[in-house]
Chains A and B, each alone.
Chain A
Amino acid sequence: MATVTETAAAIARRRAARAGSAARRGLRGGLLGGVIVIYLAAVGLVERFNGTNVITGVITLGPIFFLAAMLLTGYLASRDPKVDGQVVPVTARDRLMAGLVAGAVTGVVVGAFILLFNAVNIRDIFVSLSPIVLGDILTFGQEPAVGALLQVGVAVLLAVAGASLRLLNPANRKPFVAGLATLLIVGVMERLLRVMLDTLGLETAWLYRRGGLTTTGAIAMFAVGAVVSYLATHRAAIFQRLAGERRIGGGDGGALPPSTQENLAFGLGLASLGLSGFLAVQGLVGEPASGGLLILALVIGLLAIGVAAVTVRKRTGGSARGSVRAGRAGIGFFAAIAGVFVIVPLIVGVFLSHAMVTVGIYVLLGLGLNIVVGYAGLLDLGYVAFFAVGAYSMALFTALQSSLVTEGVGEFGSGSQVAAEQPWTDFWVALPMVIVIAVVAGVVIGAPVLRLRGDYLAIVTLGFGEIVRVIVRSDWAAPFLGGSQGIKQIQPPAPDVFDFGSPQNLYYLVLVFILLAIYVSWRLQYSRVGRAWAAMREDEDVAEAMGVSVIKYKLLAFAMGAAVGCLSGAFFAVQLSVITPDSFELLVSITVLAAIILGGLGSIPGVIIGAVVLVGLPEVLRDFAEYRLLFYGAILVGIMILRPEGLIASARRRRELHERNIEARFAGEYAAGEAEAALTAAPGEAKQET
């Protein structure tokens, strides 16, 4: 046994040696940090947002970019290194050391860059690198030499601060970080949040001033974020306390992990408490707070948390009912989510509603593509084709300038187009026809590629996507489809009854169809069809040998995917009321695919999250439009590193990715066991061999 412990110690030593010294890790992190700061400056982010107030009069968004990068550098440089997938723990001194070195290196790199920039003209290469950013922002308004020194000081300070975050107990670190994040988000999203608060009839003057937070607002937001996060991290303990320790103390003692339902109730409670906190602060700073609303929010918050606690107690009391409750929790969860989705457009205003419709359109696209790629495993890179087919057929049927109703006009290049008085038909009549056309299109595109697999399928579908785009743009189809002019004056559904022309109302229509598509997807997944698709995805030959008609199920997948995609296209046409070929670029296919992979292939909630992240965020962050792709790329890379199975993986895929780790661990333990057995059982033999 002694031999084994010694070996373990030796292994630990070897690992520590391979992990390198703290200074080395700091150096590596610092170089990276320096490059990132220079990069942020060179692409123009720092300067572009130097005028955007976050806390008015205190700090703007521009410097936050590089200051945050420095903080993060220290935080990351001080993490426990990994060798062979094993974490090598680091002492507190080493952490601070790594942070210090990282900060110093970052500062030196940036300082050197400032000096270099002032000596040599490199603006021809970095066109976004203005004298302002280097002569004023990065140098904090000082002379270059002083500024460079200041940089080093600031970088060291922030990196050490980042490193010391690691020394905090995670339960305390989280609220701190959450507070900072809340402050930042509330500050940056000023334009959108102010609209929402105004709609709710809340006073915002104490919170926002000249596009940024007031100092009071900043402190309040930090506090709200920190408190909510603190309660959330300690929720298990809070539940236990509320549920009554006497009984639990007599039992097994440990806090039960809260269920979805309880978390949901708790979340609602926290949100209400957050709101009441907001109102309370508003009252304190002298703005008129609506007392009734404050009390209401407070009551709802406490009530919701109480309900959560009660269910926890009941669950611990009679565990037999637990599973029934878990099933109901799922329904309750979806009901609550749906409820939120119903109310939101009333609060958020026209701009955000429009963005939400766009997200909804992509959610539909994602749900459709998820059937093809996620369920059936057919990598379709030309999914935009169905989007285009849906949009164009809806446009032809319901536009005033459709070639179906304006005979002889609309020829390419003729310029003037005459609008008819009435569209060919109404949205509701057109919708079933669009779906039929979609299914036909799905089969037509699906049939020629039935025998193709994997990469070949991807390339051919990519081609189909382009073919559709080229056709709608072509002169040949122009008399019918309008060429590059597109089709204009698409009529929203039934304007007399309920005007779907406004984003808020169209949103509900899209929501209904999303729910429908979710239901269909969900049922499909666990049906005979879903099983056949899963089998086909894994091993086409064997699936066929088991009686799965591969041709039938592939066509079915294409047809169903096409139907949902076309639906999405139809809404897109209604939303914009004008469609042109430019809207049906390859990028649409890629975005949708990225969204479902990001969310977790085959997972329905994943599709929604993916669409929100990849389509919703860019819409909301319109101020960052120029840098959209930069963030996009960064988010994608980050998620693929941190969660390769997607944000919300389907149960099946989670199994796939995580069981590999489990297997690896078992294999490791097994090997270790063997080694131990060999060492303890026959030391003599081992000696003989050597």
Chain B
Amino acid sequence: MSDGAAVLELEEVHAAYGAVLVLNGISLEVRRGEIVCLLGPNAAGKTTTLRAILGLTAPTAGEIRVEGDRVDGLPTPRIVAKGITMVPENRRLFAKMSVRENLEIGAQLRSDDAGIKRDQDRVLELFPRLSERLSQKAGTLSGGEQQMLAIGRALMASPKVLLMDEPSMGLAPILVEQVFKTIREINEQGTTIFLVEQNAKMALSIANRGYILRGGEIVLADTAQNLRDSAQMQEAYLGG
């Protein structure tokens, strides 16, 4: 599935909120076409890693590269323009705007109307439920529909790498399965995915590779298959 070229690389990235060090030099890479997951307990720094990649939390040291170009220190919109978008934790839709407007905001940085149209059709094909609700306010959607919209909104940017922060959070088990199925589908259509999850079992079932983050450091990196079997992972993830 992956052709080996790293599309997103983190090297010794440090990040802090004030004096509190959250990321203590993490390095990882995501290759084109992969699904990579970042697992770890609460407060391990998973969300901060995503924020650092997007420039929402400026890294204090280290390098972040997208297709070889350094992006750390750039303002967020320019990083988005490089092809990185995020499905934020808890969806965080623009609840008072319509479903259509939410999708349009996703394509905010693009000006190729034909391409935008194509992507919107693609999103609506992926989530037919949304096409029935285009002019409905996003806040009135059900939890599952909201997650679909959040993913759809991110896809409208036509990203090279899609960052996903806890897409399973707050969803019923049956919806979680559906979301993960969708993630795989999106990946098969050519979008690289970097997934942050607490639901390790689900995440590893679709991922190619995984990293385990604990206390702001990567403690383990391996293929998803090995991680699933590894006792060490169980320990890293559950212990401490």
Residues of A within 8 A of B (CB): 528, 531-532, 534-535, 538-539, 541-549, 551-552, 652, 655-656, 659, 663
Contact = CB atoms under 8 A, between A and B. Distances in A.
B108 A548 contact: yes
A546 B109 CA distance: 8
A659 B92 CA distance: 19
A531 B77 contact: no
Contacts of A534: 94, 96-97, 101
A652 B153 CA distance: 20
A190 B106 CA distance: 58
A546 B80 contact: yes
A531 B104 contact: yes
Contact of B75 (A528, A539, A546, A551): A551
B86 interface: yes
Interface in B138-182: 139-140, 153-154, 157
Chain B, interface size category, equals 20 to 34
Interface string B77-113: 1001100011010001011110001001110110000
B54 interface: yes
Given A538-B95, A545-B76, A659-B140, 17 more contacts: A531-B97, A531-B104, A534-B94, A539-B92, A542-B92, A543-B105, A544-B56, A544-B76, A545-B80, A546-B80, A546-B85, A547-B76, A547-B109, A549-B75, A551-B75, A652-B96, A656-B96
A655 B99 CA distance: 13
A545 B88 contact: yes
A655 B76 contact: no
A652 B98 CA distance: 9
Nearest to B101: A531
A546 B107 CA distance: 8
A548 B77 contact: yes
A531 B96 CA distance: 12
Contacts of A528: 108
Contact of B97 (A535, A549, A552): A535
A535 B109 CA distance: 14
Contact of B94 (A535, A544, A549, A551): A535
Given A531-B104, A532-B108, A655-B137, A545 B96 contact: no
A546 B153 CA distance: 8
Contacts of A532: 105, 108
Interface in B204-240: none
Contacts of B106: 546
B96 A655 contact: yes
Contacts of A659: 137, 139-140
A652 B154 CA distance: 23
A347 B108 CA distance: 49
A684 B137 CA distance: 42
9 contacts: A531-B104, A538-B94, A541-B56, A542-B94, A545-B56, A546-B106, A551-B75, A659-B137, A659-B139
Contacts of A535: 94, 97, 105, 108
Contacts of A652: 96-97
Contacts of B86: 545
Scoring A541, A546, A551, A655 by chain B CB atoms within 10 A of each residue's CB, the highest score goes to: A546
Contacts of A546: 80, 85, 105-106, 108, 153-154, 157
A290 to B, nearest CB: 53
Contacts of B139: 659
B213 to A, nearest CB: 20
Contacts of B97: 531, 534-535, 538, 652
A655 B140 CA distance: 11
Contacts of B81: 547
A651 to B, nearest CB: 10
B48 to A, nearest CB: 13
A249 B105 CA distance: 48
B108 A547 contact: yes
B85 A545 contact: yes
B77 A544 contact: yes
A542 B96 contact: no
A559 to B, nearest CB: 18
Nearest to A652: B96
Contacts of B104: 531
Contacts of B140: 659, 663
A207 B214 CA distance: 87
A26 B92 CA distance: 49
Nearest to A552: B77
A547 B94 contact: no
B105 A548 contact: yes
B66 to A, nearest CB: 14
Instruction: List 9 tightest A-B contacts by C-beta distance, closest first.
Output: A547-B80, A547-B109, A549-B77, A538-B94, A542-B92, A544-B76, A547-B77, A547-B108, A535-B105
Contact of A542 (B75, B77, B88, B157): B88
Scoring B76, B92, B95, B154 by chain A CB atoms within 10 A of each residue's CB, the highest score goes to: B76
Scoring A534, A547, A551, A552 by chain B CB atoms within 10 A of each residue's CB, the highest score goes to: A547
Nearest to A526: B101
Contact of A538 (B88, B96, B108): B96
Nearest to A666: B140
Contacts of B154: 546
Scoring B56, B81, B105 by chain A CB atoms within 10 A of each residue's CB, the highest score goes to: B105
Interface string B185-201: 00000000000000000
A591 B96 CA distance: 27
B35 to A, nearest CB: 20
A541 B57 CA distance: 11
Nearest to A551: B75
A453 to B, nearest CB: 15
Contacts of B108: 528, 531-532, 535, 546-548
A538 B140 CA distance: 15
A546 B151 CA distance: 12
A668 B43 CA distance: 39
Nearest to B79: A547
A531 B56 contact: no
B86 to A, nearest CB: 5
Contacts of A655: 96, 137
Given A531-B101, A538-B94, A545 B75 contact: no
Contact of A531 (B105, B153, B157): B105
